[in-house]
């Protein structure tokens, strides 16, 4: 069972009763085709839009649930333009162009359903006029643009090894005078290093790592079985291979998982954490993994490095050694177009890698062998 999907479905079920009847009808229509996570994003987008309609006086009602469908029919293009402006300028949380496009796409999907698919008892469309059909939503996610944003913000070649070495050894020196931080580090460094190593040597998404159970790991074949994003069939898991470096880190973590985190037998999660006030370990959360990576990245001198950029770092390195379609399969991309990000990234990365190798070969002739990162753990 996909743990994150279960939580999102529970959250979705809580929110649906606060939605207008026509939104609930649309969500039920989409439920067989889209994941609860995607539908939850839709509902959040509709919350924002309907709340804005009430605040602007474009709809009547005490709550968003009371917004009549007729209010949607009366909207002008100017109203949609104003909503777009609201999203881009609101003080508490301005949205990026990509986020704005996604929110407008959510609205267009709802309006299309109400005007083209759903019918009343007389077989007429529920929505007589669809203003969103006139709205042009420019595509903002282009592989070349994404690659440009990522350039210089990923780990390359030796930096991957250096970052892992820092997690296992260097971080300890930086927090030597902080007893609380040191206690947490000594408890979790093998787990933290294992999580980071697994992503850097497999390209797994953080959500996929969170969902991993102990039984999902096949050490003999060096693969994990994961629920892939976008697939609604929770009875099927996809095998994803990992490199030898991750094998060593997984073996070290599995040796101490039970004793260090005191997990009850019913707890199947691979990666555990002991929450404050509790004595037994439970599944580590997505947010905890994200914050953990940021913690090490800031001390390492790369504050822009996030858990998702670890995945990008693996993908860039993997693409240098394989082709587009192998990379697409390894990462679980639905379309090869998404994977083209790494084609743009590797144009420059390959040249840098060649220069780095030349320098390293020259320096390594007289350099002493370095200590293993496992020496102090």
User: How far, CA to CA in Å, does 358 sit from each of 8, 252, 265, 363?
Assistant: 49, 33, 51, 9
Q: Which residues of 127-158 are buried (b: 16+ CB within 10 A; e: fewer)?
A: beebbbeebeeeeeeebeebbeebeeebbbbe
Identify whether 229 is a catalytic site residue.
Answer: yes
Residues contacting residue 294 through CB under 8 Å, at least 6 positions apart: 303, 305, 306, 307
333 is catalytic: yes
For residue 115, what are its two tokens?
A: 């005007």
Q: At what angle do helices 36-55 and 97-112 cross, to 10 degrees?
A: 90
Phi, psi (degrees; rounded to nearest 5) at 206: -60, -35
d(CA 124, CA 132): 19
Are the C-beta atoms of residues 135 and 104 closer than 8 Å to each other? yes
Count CA within 13 A, CB hemisphere, residue 39: 28
pLDDT at 20 over 90: yes
Distances (CA, A) of 232 to 2, 23, 30, 37, 204: 10, 21, 12, 10, 18
- Does the annotation mark 205 as catalytic? yes
Q: What is the pLDDT of residue 276?
A: 85
Residues 10-34 have a mean pLDDT of: 94
For strands 238-241 and 272-273, give the pairing. unpaired
> 199 near 206, Cβ under 8 Å?
yes
Element at 240 (helix H, strand E): strand 238-241
State how far the Cα of 328 lies from the Cα of 342, in Å rounded to an integer. 10
Give residue-wise pLDDT tens across range 277-319.
888 999 999 999 999 999 999 999 999 999 999 999 999 888 8
Number of neighbouring beta carbons within 10 Å of residue 164: 22
102 is a catalytic site residue: no
Tell me: the pLDDT tens digits for 287-298? Answer: 999 999 999 999
Cα(124)–Cα(129) distance, integer angstroms: 12
pLDDT tens per residue across span 133-179? 998 877 655 777 777 778 778 888 789 999 999 999 999 999 999 99
Residues 6+ apart with CB under 8 A from 281: 261, 262, 263, 267, 272, 273, 274
Q: Which of 91, 75, 295 is nearest to 195 (CA)?
A: 295
Residues 229, 243, 262, 377: which is the catalytic one? 229
Using the predicted structure, report yes or no on whether residue 99 has a pLDDT greater than 50: yes
In the set 161, 243, 268, 308, the catalytic residue is 308
User: Residue 373 has what pLDDT?
Assistant: 54
Choosing from 103, 237, 309, 333, the catalytic residue is 333
How does pLDDT run across 198-222, given as a tens digit for each residue?
Answer: 999 999 999 999 999 999 999 999 9
Given 311, 312, 344, 373, which residue is catalytic? 311
pLDDT at 234: 59
| Mean pLDDT, rounded, for 8-28 | 95
Catalytic residue among 205, 228, 237, 283: 205
- Is the whole model's pTM more than 0.85, yes or no? no
Contact 117, 29 (CB under 8 A): yes
Catalytic residue, candidates 22, 191, 342, 373: 342
């Amino acid at each position: 069972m996909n743990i994150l999907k279960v939580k999102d479905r529970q959250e979705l079920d809580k929110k649906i009763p606060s939605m207008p009847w026509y939104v609930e009808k649309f969500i039920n229509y989409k439920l067989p085709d889209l994941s609860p996570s995607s539908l939850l994003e839709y509902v959040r987008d509709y919350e924002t839009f309907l709340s804005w309609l009430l605040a602007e006086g474009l709809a009547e009602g005490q709550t968003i649930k009371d917004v009549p469908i007729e209010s949607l029919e009366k909207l002008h293009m100017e109203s949609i333009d104003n909503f777009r402006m609201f999203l881009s300028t609101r003080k508490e949380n301005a949205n990026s162009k990509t986020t704005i496009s996604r929110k407008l796409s959510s609205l267009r999907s709802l309006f299309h359903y109400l005007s083209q698919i759903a019918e009343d008892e007389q077989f007429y469309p529920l929505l007589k006029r669809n203003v969103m059909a006139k709205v042009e939503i420019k595509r903002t996610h282009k592989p070349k643009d994404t690659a440009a944003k990522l350039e210089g913000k990923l780990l390359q070649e030796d930096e991957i090894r250096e970052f892992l070495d820092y997690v296992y050894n260097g971080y300890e020196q930086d927090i030597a005078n902080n007893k609380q931080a040191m206690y947490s580090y000594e408890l979790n460094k093998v787990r933290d290093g294992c999580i980071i190593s697994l992503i850097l040597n497999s390209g797994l998404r953080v959500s996929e790592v969170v969902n991993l159970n102990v039984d999902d790991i096949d050490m003999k074949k060096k693969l994990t079985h994961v629920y892939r994003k976008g697939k609604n069939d929770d009875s099927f898991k996809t095998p994803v291979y990992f490199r030898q470096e991750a094998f060593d880190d997984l073996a070290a973590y599995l040796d101490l998982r039970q004793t260090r985190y005191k997990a009850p037998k019913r707890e199947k999660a691979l990666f555990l954490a002991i929450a404050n006030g509790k004595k037994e370990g439970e599944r580590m959360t997505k947010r905890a993994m994200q914050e953990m990576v940021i913690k090490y990245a800031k001390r390492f001198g790369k504050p822009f490095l996030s858990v998702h950029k670890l995945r990008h770092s693996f993908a860039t390195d993997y693409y240098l050694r394989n082709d587009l379609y192998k990379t697409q399969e390894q990462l679980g991309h639905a379309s090869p177009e998404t994977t083209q990000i790494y084609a743009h990234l590797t144009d420059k990365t390959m040249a840098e890698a060649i220069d780095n190798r030349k320098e390293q070969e020259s320096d390594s002739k007289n350099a002493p062998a370095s200590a293993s990162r496992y020496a102090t753990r």
